[in-house]
Amino acid sequence: MKYTKLKPISLKSHPQLNEAWVQDIIADDPNILGLGDVILRDKERIQPRAGRLDLLLQDTDSNRRFEVEIQLGEVDESHIIRTIEYWDIERKRYPQYEHCGVIVAENITSRFLNVLSLFNGMIPLIAIQMTAIETESGVGINFTKVLDEMTLGMPEEDEAINEPADRAYWETRSNKKMVAIADEILALVKEINPSLELKYNKPYIGMTLNNVANNFAVCKPKKKFARLEIKLPKDNATYEEIEESGLNLMDYSKWGAYRINLKENDIKEYGVLLSKLLREAYEERN
């Protein structure tokens, strides 16, 4: 087999190849970035008072979107700020999707990699370094992920160090009426599995199945409402169903849960929908 010597080249200083060429390459085959099975949703997407987003990609198996910014040469401060700004605009415009900013550059130095690492976790970011290689037959690009999005731990993963509490603790912290909503939630989940019980922890009221934590849903009573968090994959149809029902739906949480603020009588009024969501979450987990 013939050995072919690879010749790395700089796209930034190339007389013919440019950023638009790289955009076209990725747009034709978005999977070359290594983000999974993704498709192109938009290119040069106009942002209100903020320029244009190079590429908007979406995962085919979920409602996860990637805001991709491309820079030839070395990554710099303006590129990082622009990527975060576009990510923020898109997540506010389309909250039913899960968003992640992606920086693609020819050279991501250790200095800026450290900066990106500081943001990661609070802001979902992925950094990809691209290397253009010239051969006898043409120019190819190798994409290497140098910073992946930080995966946040689920609340139950911290169960071992959660301080136990009791009903009296929560009635003092919130009030008896709001804690009673947790009882109504329990009544709904017992229709799914009669062995499910409430477990009082200081951060939240969770669920147990045969004395083992099974937090497919948790409740956090407040003074004026009780927040129900139902752990289900983010889905556009589910989001719209909850929102259109009249329930007080909050932003989708970073650890994968729909957050709904419940008041007195909400369980009675929306019990059918809540039972459906709780059953789906239970089956998803178990």
Per-residue pLDDT of the chain (286 residues; tens, 9 = 90+): 777 777 888 888 888 888 888 899 999 999 999 988 888 989 988 887 778 899 999 887 677 899 999 999 888 888 888 888 999 999 888 887 889 999 998 888 777 777 777 776 678 888 899 998 887 777 888 898 888 775 555 544 444 445 678 999 999 989 999 999 999 999 999 999 999 999 998 889 999 999 888 999 999 999 999 999 999 988 888 989 999 999 999 888 877 899 999 999 999 999 999 999 999 999 988 8
- Going by their DSSP bridges, the two strands 38-46 and 138-147 should be labelled as unpaired
CATH numbers and ranges of domains, the chain: 7-147 (3.40.1350.10), 155-285 (3.90.1150.200)
How many whole angstroms separate alpha carbon 23 and alpha carbon 1?
Answer: 33
Structure tokens at 57: 């990609």
Which DSSP letter does residue 16 get? Answer: S
